């Protein structure tokens, strides 16, 4: 790496770092370039992940030589030949005795990539499944986490912190397959037990709006009179719960995102300058009033970011939804019914999909959708965090 610059007076003393022609300088420069190239690996891999997902996902589309229309990812329209029935229920026949058929077009939102007649790739049930787990988890998780974060940063004594913080770190270190197992064996029974308590069962299955969202599973014992009542009510509103359902998944997910949200929220609260606390105290506010009327409003954007990042984490989690939600791809608002998330779909189906086939490509397509979801949430979260930090620094 001989330099083109003209030798300066430092040339007189060879071996100095400013001497650009020395072997030492060359070596240093080479090391720096080597380090830079290693450091770009992170950039390269994230770019590679993105392009590969997009590339493989789009391979299945018709425009790129596959067989899937882009609109198939929304809904599939199939034309069906159906026997026409008379109002009394009998089959309508022609004069010669043959059945009368009519062509019906049906629009379905199904994810059935291995269906024998026509593979269906609608993303709608998968997105609903994902959101049914992630949104309740994010709501419940942020409620708990933000309270805990306020407690830890504003009110707890150092001794209490010494106990609660490691507990949070232990939760953060739980492998997600373990949480999934816990959800499957313990949370699921707990949810069922709760929903089957006669009073709660009555409230859940009879309150007009509530029964759309929380209709429990009819898994009472056969001789239990509630079983018959449950089946009747289930038929009445056309909803039925299952033992493994999205609420079970959401509760398990809550566990996973609590440490995520708490850590970020606590950071946000701690970065509020003490001058704000002092000012509030000086005006006569108690510790609690200071926490809730001065510190929390100052940290609100950081708290928002914590919730957003928690939501991103919940959307991307795989093993919990795979184990605990039942994985039936259905369109239903009922949280006590099974649901199939995007992550679980990929995990359950990639093993069977033939590499390069439509199904395989469709899985990469939903992978790309998932990646975009979480990517956007992360970026938004990051921007909000940085803005909050800058604002507080400027104001403090």
In this structure, what token pair is assigned to residue 7? 């030798």
Q: Is residue 251 a contact residue for other proteins (CB under 8 A)?
A: no
Q: How far apart are CA 325 and CA 177, in angstroms?
A: 13
Which residue among 286, 293, 387, 390 contacts other proteins (CB under 8 A)? 286
Of 68 and 188, which CB lies nearer to other proteins in the complex structure? 188
The position carrying tokens 């308590």 is 197
Nearest distance, CB of residue 93 and other proteins, angstroms: 50
Which residue among 112, 181, 200, 212 contacts other proteins (CB under 8 A)? 181
Q: Map 128-156 to HEC letters.
A: HHHHHHHHHHHHHHHHHHHHHHHHHHHHC
Q: How far apart are CA 327 and CA 244, in angstroms?
A: 9
Nearest distance, CB of residue 98 and other proteins, angstroms: 49
The partner residues of 103 in beta bridges, in order of sequence, read: 81
The partner residues of 168 in beta bridges, in order of sequence, read: none
Contacts of other proteins in 360-379 (CB under 8 A) = 363-364, 367, 370-371, 374-375, 377-379
In this structure, what token pair is assigned to residue 217? 């599973």
Q: Is residue 166 a contact residue for other proteins (CB under 8 A)?
A: yes
Stretch that binds other proteins, among 35-43, 114-122, 200-208, 243-251 (CB under 8 A): 35-43
Stretch that binds other proteins, among 66-74, 119-127, 133-141, 305-313 (CB under 8 A): 305-313
CA 360 to chain centre: 22
Q: Which residues contact 110 (CB under 8 A, 6 or more apart)?
A: 76, 120, 122, 125, 329
Contacts of other proteins in 334-363 (CB under 8 A) = 343, 346-347, 350-351, 355, 363
Which residue among 1, 7, 17, 99 contacts other proteins (CB under 8 A)? 17
Of 125 and 211, which CB lies nearer to other proteins in the complex structure? 125
Which residue among 31, 194, 197, 300 contacts other proteins (CB under 8 A)? 31
């Amino acid at each position: 790496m001989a330099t083109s610059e003209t030798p300066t007076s430092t040339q007189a003393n060879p071996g100095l770092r400013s001497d650009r022609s020395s072997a030492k300088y060359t070596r240093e420069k080479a090391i720096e370039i080597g380090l830079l190239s290693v450091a770009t690996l992170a950039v390269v891999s994230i770019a590679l992940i993105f392009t590969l997902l997009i590339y493989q996902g789009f391979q299945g589309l018709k425009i790129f030589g596959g067989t899937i229309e882009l609109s198939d990812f929304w809904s599939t329209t199939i034309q069906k030949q159906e026997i026409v029935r008379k109002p009394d229920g009998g089959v309508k026949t022609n004069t010669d005795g043959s059945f009368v058929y009519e062509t019906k077009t049906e629009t379905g939102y199904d994810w059935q990539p291995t269906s024998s007649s026509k593979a269906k790739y609608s993303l709608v049930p998968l997105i609903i499944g994902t959101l049914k787990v992630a949104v309740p988890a994010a709501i419940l998780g942020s409620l708990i986490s933000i309270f805990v974060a306020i407690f830890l940063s504003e009110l707890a004594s150092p001794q209490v912190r010494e106990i609660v913080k490691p507990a949070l770190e232990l939760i953060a270190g739980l492998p997600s397959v373990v949480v999934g197992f816990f959800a499957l064996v313990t949370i699921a029974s707990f949810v069922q037990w709760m929903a089957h308590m006669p009073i709660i069962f009555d409230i859940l299955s009879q309150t007009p709006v509530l029964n759309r969202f929380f209709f429990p599973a009819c898994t009472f014992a056969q001789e239990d009179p509630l079983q018959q009542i449950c089946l009747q009510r289930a038929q009445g509103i056309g909803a039925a719960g299952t033992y493994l359902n999205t609420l079970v998944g959401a509760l398990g997910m809550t566990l996973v995102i609590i440490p995520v949200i708490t850590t970020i929220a606590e950071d946000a609260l701690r970065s509020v300058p003490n001058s704000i606390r002092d000012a509030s105290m000086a005006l006569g506010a108690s510790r609690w009033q200071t926490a809730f009327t001065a510190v929390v409003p100052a940290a609100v954007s950081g708290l928002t970011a914590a919730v957003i990042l928690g939501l991103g984490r919940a959307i991307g989690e795989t093993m919990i939804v795979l184990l605990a939600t039942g994985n039936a791809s259905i369109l239903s608002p009922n949280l006590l019914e099974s649901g199939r998330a995007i992550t679980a779909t990929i995990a359950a189906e990639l093993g069977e999909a033939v590499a390069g086939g439509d199904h395989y490509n469709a899985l990469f397509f939903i992978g790309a959708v998932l990646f975009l979801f979480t990517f956007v949430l992360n970026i938004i979260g990051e921007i909000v965090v940085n803005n909050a930090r800058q604002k507080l620094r400027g104001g403090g």
